[in-house]
Structure 1
Amino acid sequence: MDTALWIAAGLLAVVALSGGATKAFVAKERLARFPGGEWTGSAATGFVKGLGVLEILAAAGLILPAVAGVAPVLVPVTAACWVLLMIGAMITHVRYGGVSAVLLVNLFYLGLAVFVAAGRFGPHPFTA
């Protein structure tokens, strides 16, 4: 089970890093042309860039605390925050594009985050 939790956290970290880097470093006008990125056209640039930076920090929070052995409780806390982020993402995608494949991808990421949070808060925490 520990291996499955590491794989799920690693996958979420890759998703967070790639999505965050895209939001932080790609112009929002270009992001608005991507499938699922329509919402960025009406969002403030600072909001989009700030969200990107938070996603990059989430990528670090899903892996580094456990690897470094410093405050490993931050891993499930970050996963729980990712659940909230995915709920917001799904609401936004429904508002801007209706039900689409992007919504299903967000639902998959939400499921992974619930798995990591529940597993690390519950029966498989990191031991100090």
Structure 2
Amino acid sequence: MGIAYWIVAALLAVFYLYAGGKKVLQSQERLRPMMGWVDRVPMPAVRLIGTLEILGAAGLILPPLTGIAPWLAVAAAIGLVLVQCGGIVLHVSRGEARLIGLNIALLVAAAAGAWLAAVRL
């Protein structure tokens, strides 16, 4: 189970560091071609989502790696599940149900990460 956790956690962490970093650092105009929803959500909320994604990525890796409060990996994975639930709701409310495939895949991966982290405890 340990190897499976690290594979899932590493993939999720890379994705969320990239996506969260873009949301935190880039302007609304630069985000718009990739994320049309940024026009509907205030930029402070977009920045908050990006910050939560970065913290979630760190929470998946750092606690188990250091051995300090490894239960935080479970909390981080659950937080990322909630982020994806919000993304699915946003896409469906915009009539973009066909775009939720990535959200569902990330939700499933984060849920698997939460389960794998809990089994490791």
Q: Please tell me the TM-score bracket, short chain as reference.
A: over 0.9
- With normalisation by structure 2, the TM-score equals 0.92
1:97 Cα deviation (Å)?
A: 4.5
1:76 Cα deviation (Å)?
A: 0.9
2:29 and 2:100 mapped to 1: Cα distance?
21
* Alignment partner, residue 13 of structure 2: 13
Q: Contact 2:60–2:74 at 8 Å: present in 1 too?
A: yes
Q: Tell me the C-alpha RMSD between the 2 structures.
A: 1.3
- With normalisation by structure 1, the TM-score equals 0.87
1:98 Cα deviation (Å)?
A: 1.6
* Alignment partner, residue 36 of structure 2: 38
1:30 Cα deviation (Å)?
A: 2.1
- In the alignment, does 2:104 pair up with 1:107? yes
Q: 5+ unaligned residues in a row in structure 1: which ranges?
A: none
Runs of 4+ in 1 over 2 A off after TM superposition: none
Higher helix residue share: 2
Matched to 2:110, the amino acid is A
* Alignment partner, residue 29 of structure 2: 29
1:116 Cα deviation (Å)?
A: 1.2
Q: 5+ unaligned residues in a row in structure 2: which ranges?
A: none
Farther-moved stretch of structure 1 (50-59 vs 14-23): 50-59
